[in-house]
Structure 1
């Protein structure tokens, strides 16, 4: 299968070329030249097997095709359970059981396994440059740590990630370098995109990306939605609807692609925090990126969601059709706090601010009748609440147990270098 840029001014690429590049040369995002037909998927397979079956057409004819089962086995070696909630028909899809306690572990590990095979220990090192609003950078750092021939530079907005997230970003060392940027996530993302499009810099230091703009991050995320939906369909005989917390729109885009490939998913609802770019667009306004606003659900503090370009292209630029296909709701910090407190006091459940955002939206859908009583829904739980103890623990009045893998990372010393929010500062760091 070949891949093209959303902007239409870049050469056709193979999957390996698209994964290695991250961003297309014209600044666009790689998408399949054409979507493959629906896949024959069966429940009962392992998560890794389901992911490999779903991804096979995208790898057809590529040098990585024969490695796909092994890559999936490396990336999907921890569970993503679908757990029922107290409200009948409501579920939570727990995506935080990986080494950095966030859903991004799946895609980051898949990308690392792919790039390590493509590099093969030959040639100049490849530098993976990644902007993070909280969880991406830690997942990428952990996945690429000590991988030969691969170096990682992580940019994060100083003071706008949780203390434990910041610690994870700077605690590995070795081939991992953390830059704390005196700006917003949007500044970090713009700097990374400019670096990837800098031909002179690329000639001197080959670069790739590990944000959700990378197909190597985006495509594997279809796997856990397929696994959950197939198991649910087998048990209950109905499709699973989703509420997905979203910032850069990659996780939701993966669900859209999975549904197109025949995965029994129903509606896909987008839950955002006070950054209202997507809710305003889906309510009928123009798509207007705005400076991001800092919130309790910091991983979604995105004012210019990159994958909107992919989503809009998927609907061939038909804004009316795109708006008709989705609901997007914004949730403020007060509602996030109230949801965390309410779920603990009434159900004894503890959630991170991002998952609480989606739970609040699902409760709104149930109350309004937009989510019918006979429909089954799942909220994507994107991170473990222990990563946000400064937010969660005061609201529930007790400590949140820390998963073993996260506790191990938190015991390491951490260091991050300061960086100005201008591209020249990043360029200097990369060439230094």
Structure 2
């Protein structure tokens, strides 16, 4: 049965999945084209999909068909940037950006995503995604998107405004990636008081062409406001806009690279697929891993770890997909009640029964997050951020149930970004990575606005507080 996305004030417009499903049967766009999940917009090349962020009908861009790729195509001695260029080339085939793809990847992936063993179990590994400039996995996608947009020609001499809603980490990564990029400005929306102090400082520390807005609401309000602005034809005519959330293909596609790189390395050494446990809120990071597996690379089982926001766990347990108001939790970057990428998930798996067989999701409350952080620090000397702790808890339950396969826990952020939560639990200070320390040393400023489309419209059109 195809999942039905019900109309919700939190989800914005109704996501009419049967419309795009029918359109896939009626239309077969040419290879290399990108279509909307809602089927109401013409197919476009990937450059146009990346530049637009959101399709004109409000849907999310997806490749008309996922390509397949031979694991033998990858250089066994190649870097993460090399893996990314090989993996993503089929998505860019025939596009002007194809000739620049190797350079884009080299520019974006200047730091590693190491896969290292943990002492908790001999077949347990940690995929560390927090070695970029803002100490979170969002750096990979944000830097790739910025590198793409720098190379795309624009007929409009006015600055392009990159809109981004963030529940904690995305905004800083986008701000860092686009900071001082010519003819570009960034507007970051985040829920006031619902991100960690260090996350908030990062979001407001850039200045120049990056502007931070503290929204008097929740992340879902921020996400709704961004989508409304991107769908506002009159506003777009006045202020050219694009998106840097995981709704953007330019963010999602590069996140596939570290899953491919880790899985290929594991397969070469152990001749088995690698399983992943992924902390998730808006589903972008999980979608990246699912697409890598769908392309034919050696990824085994996937498990999703969510916080107390149980929209996804409830659905995978057999309930209707029901967006709801987000709850504030310790794992704040995952405080999402209406995950945007669920629409892409349903495009990839239009059969709801198959989707539930493919994935499972667990909800982890704050008390369990605290226990997991304290336990692993005490017993194994490993320190996790609250988001990574949700995945570590899912791992621990799997092992208790007798699971013996190789599992990689995805570490999405450095624990130093959450020192006010983590340090009291481990009774020790956390060393601050140098890039994070540099950002924390800068002054920080953010403007408070109401959670209304009008308030954002005024800021974007120049009527808001400067």
Whether 2:437 is the aligned partner of 1:407: answer yes
Matches within 5 A, 1:251-262: 251-262=285-296
Residue in 1 that maps onto 2:8: none
Residue in 1 that maps onto 2:396: 363
Write out per-residue CA displacement over residues 77-110 of structure 1, whole angstroms, 9 at most, x where no aligned residue.
1010001011110000000000000000000000
Query: TM-score if structure 2 supplies the norm length?
Result: 0.91
Residue in 2 that maps onto 1:109: 143
- Unaligned regions of 5+ residues in structure 1, if any? none
| Separation of aligned partners in 2, 1:120 and 1:111 | 15
Partner of 2:242, secondary structure, is strand
| Separation of aligned partners in 1, 2:233 and 2:452 | 18
Whether 2:45 is the aligned partner of 1:14: answer yes
Is this contact kept in 2: 1:38–1:260, CA < 8 A? no
Is this contact kept in 1: 2:415–2:422, CA < 8 A? yes
Is this contact kept in 2: 1:114–1:216, CA < 8 A? yes
1:220, CA displacement in angstroms? Answer: 0.4
| Separation of aligned partners in 1, 2:153 and 2:40 | 26
Q: 1:28 aligns with which of 46, 59, 62?
A: 59
1:217, CA displacement in angstroms? Answer: 0.1
RMSD of the alignment, in Å?
A: 1.0
Whether 2:345 is the aligned partner of 1:311: answer yes
Whether 2:466 is the aligned partner of 1:424: answer no
Residue in 2 that maps onto 1:243: 277
Residue in 2 that maps onto 1:349: 382
Is this contact kept in 2: 1:6–1:29, CA < 8 A? yes
| Separation of aligned partners in 2, 1:259 and 1:162 | 33
| Separation of aligned partners in 2, 1:54 and 1:260 | 12
| Separation of aligned partners in 2, 1:283 and 1:88 | 30
Whether 2:299 is the aligned partner of 1:265: answer yes
| Segment of structure 1 superposing worse, 281-290 or 36-45 | 36-45
Whether 2:36 is the aligned partner of 1:5: answer yes
Partner of 1:138, secondary structure, is helix
Query: TM-score if structure 1 supplies the norm length?
Result: 0.98
Write out per-residue CA displacement over residues 164-205 of structure 1, whole angstroms, 9 at most, x where no aligned residue.
000000000000000000000000000000000000000111
Is this contact kept in 1: 2:205–2:443, CA < 8 A? yes
1:37, CA displacement in angstroms? Answer: 2.1
Write out per-residue CA displacement over residues 117-168 of structure 1, whole angstroms, 9 at most, x where no aligned residue.
1147962211000000000000000000010111100000000000000000
| Separation of aligned partners in 2, 1:43 and 1:236 | 14
| Separation of aligned partners in 1, 2:386 and 2:429 | 15
1:328, CA displacement in angstroms? Answer: 0.4
Write out per-residue CA displacement over residues 230-252 of structure 1, whole angstroms, 9 at most, x where no aligned residue.
11111111111000000000000
| Separation of aligned partners in 1, 2:154 and 2:201 | 31
Is this contact kept in 2: 1:239–1:264, CA < 8 A? yes
Residue in 1 that maps onto 2:313: 279
1:384, CA displacement in angstroms? Answer: 0.2
Q: 1:143 aligns with which of 154, 177, 195?
A: 177
| Separation of aligned partners in 2, 1:37 and 1:398 | 47
Matches within 5 A, 1:319-334: 319-334=352-367
Write out per-residue CA displacement over residues 49-75 of structure 1, whole angstroms, 9 at most, x where no aligned residue.
000000001101111111100000011
1:43, CA displacement in angstroms? Answer: 2.6
Q: 1:198 aligns with which of 229, 232, 247?
A: 232
| Separation of aligned partners in 2, 1:235 and 1:120 | 46
1:313, CA displacement in angstroms? Answer: 0.9
